[in-house]
Amino acid sequence: MAKTLSEAAARLAELAARVEPDQRAAATQDGLDLLAVAAGLKPVGVLGCDDDRGDWPLGAAAVAYELDLGFQPDALWYPARDARQAGLPNWYVTAVAARRASQNALYVWRDPALEARVRQACARGRVTVAEEAALLGYPECCVAQHHAQALALEDLSIAAIVRQVPDDDARHRLAAAGIVPLPHSPEEWRELDALRAIAPEPATSINRCAACVADPDGPAGQLGRRYRELARALDYPVSAPAA
Ligand SMILES: [Zn+2]
């Protein structure tokens, strides 16, 4: 029995309200992303399904099924590295594979033609800027800046681990656990903070680029308005603060 969008919105809001407070805003946003996929506003949604979400992942998958969406649990994507950035050390490559094996996200889509593309991207584990922007319905300018930051953070983490830990096995264990050695100077802290900084577009999972932050009518701002209209139309709570 297919649910209406309004019924799905009410169910997702109820599920998000049951999530622990520190995960509630993220679960609420993921619920809106699921509704945006069902409404045809977003091609593919990537919903967080960590253990600390409680009943939310199973409930969200049930709603996706009832809305006739395709869905698949898999690991999160990493940004693709170009030839200049290739050549990662083996201990890091195996650490990323170990991290991905324990990650759990739920991919959802409405157009059946997207299933093969989602599966291919998940199998490769890394996606290009154009691919991620097209699949997730994000502005390419924002994805480009996000990828550049994520790859620089990856390089910084590898360099820091190499500098502080002499043994490849120990390096692998640190990276597999997602532990980044802490900076040693104010300059290094500033660099790390800058690379970790995000500027979400309210009511979306878009991490805005500098140009979109400066221009509320830019690609991210325009998309954000459509998400906020969808939330209002479905009487769905928007957790993000106003811009
Ligand atoms: Zn942008």
pLDDT in tens, 17-29: 999 999 999 999 9
Question: 213: helix, coil or strand?
Answer: helix
CA of 130 to the centre of ligand 1 (A): 13
Distance 147 CA to ligand 1 centre (A): 12
Residue ranges in 87-182 assigned as alpha helix (H): 90-102, 114-124, 129-136, 140-164, 168-176
Our count of domains for the chain comes to: 1
Contacts of 92 (CB under 8 A, 6+ apart): 158, 161, 171, 172, 175
Q: Is residue 239 part of a domain?
A: no
Decide if pLDDT at 64 tops 50.
Answer: yes
Inside any domain, residue 242: no
Report how far ligand 1's centroid is from the alpha carbon of 58 (Å). 33
Q: How many A from CA of 169 to the centre of ligand 1? A: 39
Contact 178, 102 (CB under 8 A): no
What is the pLDDT at residue 103?
84
Domain assignment present for residue 207? The answer is: yes
Using CA atoms, how far apart are residues 220 and 203, in angstroms rounded to an integer?
Answer: 11
C-alpha dist (Å) from residue 124 to 14, 162, 227: 35, 26, 30
Q: Answer yes or no: is 17 within a domain.
A: yes
| Residue 156 domain-assigned (yes or no) | yes
- From ligand 1's centre to the CA of 184, what distance in Å? 32
pLDDT at 220 over 70: yes
User: Which residue range(s) make up the domain with 87?
Assistant: 5-233
At 241, is the pLDDT very low, low, confident or very high (cuts 50, 70, 90)? very low
Closest to 107 measured CA to CA, from 97, 121, 118, 120? 118
* Cα 215 to middle of ligand 1, angstroms: 9
Residue 238 lies in a domain: no
Please indicate, yes or no, if residue 243 is contained in any of the structural domains: no
- Say whether pLDDT at 101 is over 80: yes
Distance between CA atoms of residues 180 and 155, nearest Å: 11
Query: If you average pLDDT over residues 185-191, what whole number do you get?
Result: 91
Q: Give the separation between CA 55 and CA 179, rounded to whole angstroms.
A: 28
220 Cα to the center of ligand 1, angstroms? 6
At residue 180, what is the residue type?
V
Tokens of 69: 């969406």
| Residue 184 is assigned to a structural domain of this protein | yes
